[in-house]
């Protein structure tokens, strides 16, 4: 049974490892040019088997349809400093020719009821295997540091309460989401000041 899952997850693991290198490479290119990088950092993971099974049961996805219907078995996150960096990152992804963007979900303009904000892009990514090329779905979540802070905290609380938050916690999370939104707004207003300071700092480090 475990062997079957190992085989199933192998191309997803390969895709996550390859994409982490590629997307982190984008950040390094900005650093070399000493210009503001719209990408702050990149993480990636393969969904653990119990989470795959949970989600399949929750969404009524038959196990023999996982490849077609579960889009985030391979998942990456790209964190940005500013909200305005997010469309720049999406454009760069769309211009690449090593994968195809097949779907986009904008939970920034359409915030989720929980308070969740993020921009999701689904890719069809070709993995080279010993049996030939296999195209798999990969989800990239693009978000600011503030959105990531909120989502990380909310996600861990979700484990504790299995999604059934007490009213008080739910309201606090919604207020915290609003505070994260305000933080993003304030930072956007002084974006130019911050970027100038960051370029000065990186040049000083180089000397």
20 or 55, CB closer to ligand 0O2?
55
Residue from the set 65, 94, 155, 175 that interacts with ligand 0O2 by CB under 6 A: 155
Ordered DSSP codes for 91-154: HHHHH-SSSEEEEEEETTTS--TTS---EEEEEEEEEEETTEEEEEEEEEEEEEHHHHHHHHHH
Binding pattern for the stretch 26-65 against ligand 0O2, x by CB under 6 A and - elsewhere:
---------------------x---x---x----------
User: Total residues contacting ligand 0O2 (rule CB under 6 A)?
Assistant: 13
Query: What span, in angstroms and rounded, lies between the C-alpha atoms of 151 and 199?
Result: 29
Q: Is 206 a catalytic residue?
A: no
Backbone torsions φ then ψ of 167, nearest 5 degrees: -50, -45
Bridging pattern class, strands 132-144 and 74-80: parallel
Q: How far, in Å, are 21, 45, 106 from residue 111 at the CA level?
A: 30, 24, 8
Report which of 116, 89, 82 is spatially closest to residue 186, judged by C-alpha positions. 82
Residue from the set 20, 27, 105, 111 that interacts with ligand 0O2 by CB under 6 A: 105
Query: What span, in angstroms and rounded, lies between the C-alpha atoms of 193 and 129?
Result: 47
Sites for ligand 0O2 among residues 62-81 (CB under 6 A): 72, 75
For the bound state, the minimum distance from the C-beta of residue 155 to ligand 0O2, rounded and expressed in Å, comes to: 4
Query: What span, in angstroms and rounded, lies between the C-alpha atoms of 54 and 123?
Result: 23
Binding pattern for the stretch 112-131 against ligand 0O2, x by CB under 6 A and - elsewhere:
x-x-x---x-----------
Residue from the set 151, 177, 180, 181 that interacts with ligand 0O2 by CB under 6 A: 151
For the bound state, the minimum distance from the C-beta of residue 87 to ligand 0O2, rounded and expressed in Å, comes to: 18
29 or 51, CB closer to ligand 0O2?
51
For position 154 contacting ligand 0O2 by CB under 6 A, the verdict is yes
Part of the chain binding ligand 0O2 (CB under 6 A), chosen from 17-25, 33-41, 151-159, 188-196: 151-159
Q: One of 103, 139, 178, 185 is an active-site residue; which one? A: 139
Query: What span, in angstroms and rounded, lies between the C-alpha atoms of 51 and 45?
Result: 12
Query: What span, in angstroms and rounded, lies between the C-alpha atoms of 168 and 182?
Result: 21
Q: Would you name the residues annotated as active-site residues?
A: 139
User: Binding residues for ligand 0O2, per CB under 6 A?
Assistant: 47, 51, 55, 72, 75, 105, 112, 114, 116, 120, 151, 154-155
């Amino acid at each position: 049974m475990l062997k079957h899952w190992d085989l199933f997850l192998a191309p997803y693991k390969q895709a996550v490892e390859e994409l982490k290198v590629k997307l982190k490479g984008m950040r390094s290119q900005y650093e070399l040019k000493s210009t503001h990088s719209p990408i702050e950092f990149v993480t990636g993971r393969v969904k653990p088997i119990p989470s795959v099974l949970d989600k399949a049961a929750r969404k009524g996805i038959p196990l023999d349809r996982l490849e077609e219907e579960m889009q985030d078995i391979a998942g990456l996150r790209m964190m940005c400093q500013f909200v305005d960096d997010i469309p720049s990152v999406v454009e760069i992804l769309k211009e690449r020719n090593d994968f195809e963007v097949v779907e986009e979900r904008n939970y920034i303009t359409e915030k989720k009821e929980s308070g969740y904000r993020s921009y999701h892009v689904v890719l069809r990514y070709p993995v080279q295997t010993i049996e030939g090329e296999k195209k798999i779905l990969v989800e990239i979540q693009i978000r600011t540091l503030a959105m990531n802070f909120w989502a990380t905290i909310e996600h861990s609380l979700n484990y504790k309460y299995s999604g059934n938050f007490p009213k008080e916690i739910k309201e606090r999370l919604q207020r915290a989401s609003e505070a994260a939104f305000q933080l993003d707004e304030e930072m956007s207003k002084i974006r130019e000041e911050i970027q100038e300071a960051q370029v000065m700092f990186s040049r000083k480090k180089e000397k």
